[in-house]
Amino acid sequence: MIKIKQCRTIKPDGSIKEGSGIEIDSAGPTAAILQDVAGPIFSNPITGECAGVLVFPDETNGEYMEAVLISPGGATGPPLHFHPNYVEEFTIIEGEFMFHHDGKEMVLKAGDQLSVHANEEHTFRPTDRFDINTFVVVVRPPGMLIELVKTLYGLAHEGKLNKRGEPGLLQAITLAKKLSGDTIFTKPPPLVQKMMASIFAPVAFRLGYRAIYPKYIDDEFWLERVEQYVQEPSKI
């Protein structure tokens, strides 16, 4: 078994940040999936996660998109949330995830699948049994999932999230207002979120906060900050 470090962080001087990235089996299922990523890999240096798009919406006439998420064992995962207008279909590729879905908790292992329909509350996190945990998700229709993930990961790279990978109040409110028809977090209650957004979102916007930052969506941002797929064993 040959281990390869993937998704390592590139420092401003162009060198690789020591200790960053995820070590995977070069002949394993996660390595095989990474070879199929269609655009730049993007990562969250706080949580250790990395992700990539496998099928873009414009390849399916806007019917769906497909992406991969790789997470180290014990990562926290996203807050409990739901999507009003789309379905997510998860397939576990490697490792093990704990899913909270529609009031129930379940452990999904490699080969397991789960469909989460519109308005069903859910979240997930890798268990601590495996170092590498990978799933593929198909989103029908595509929604704003990639824009949201790239924004949060980009903020993490620029030191604008806390140690738990969460945005500050004004950034969170700006995101919540933009995503009100796409992704809704259950805490605080949605009604409270709407009230806070109506009061604070205009202030946040005047202070320069945005829900989606074009620079984080740009491929160049990720090519400069995340080492892309590596086929040879890493020296670090």
Residue 230 confidence (pLDDT): 87
* DSSP conformation letters of 63-79: S-EEEEEEEETT---PP
Sketch the domain layout of the chain as residue ranges. Answer: 3-225
Residue 180 confidence (pLDDT): 87
Calpha distance 124→121 (Å, rounded): 11
Q: Which of 235, 19, 31, 61 is nearest to 132 (CA)?
A: 31
CATH of 3-225, one of 1.10.3210.10, 2.60.120.10, 3.30.1370.60, 3.10.20.30: 2.60.120.10
Residue 236 confidence (pLDDT): 45
Do strands 132-140 and 65-72 pair parallel, antiparallel, or not at all (unpaired)?
Answer: antiparallel
Give residues with Cβ within 8 angstroms of 136, minimum separation 6. 33, 54, 66, 67, 68, 90, 91, 93
Residue 194 confidence (pLDDT): 87
Q: What is the pLDDT along the chain (236 residues), one digit of tens a residue?
A: 788 999 999 999 999 999 999 999 999 999 999 999 999 999 999 999 999 999 999 999 999 999 999 999 989 899 999 999 999 999 999 999 999 999 999 999 999 999 999 999 999 999 999 999 999 999 999 999 999 999 999 999 999 999 888 999 999 999 989 988 899 999 989 889 889 989 999 999 999 999 999 999 999 999 999 999 988 765 44
Calpha distance 20→28 (Å, rounded): 20
Give residues with Cβ within 8 angstroms of 163, minimum separation 6. 46
Calpha distance 18→105 (Å, rounded): 36
Contact criterion met (CB below 8 Å) for 93 and 68: yes
Residue 114 confidence (pLDDT): 98
Contact criterion met (CB below 8 Å) for 50 and 44: yes
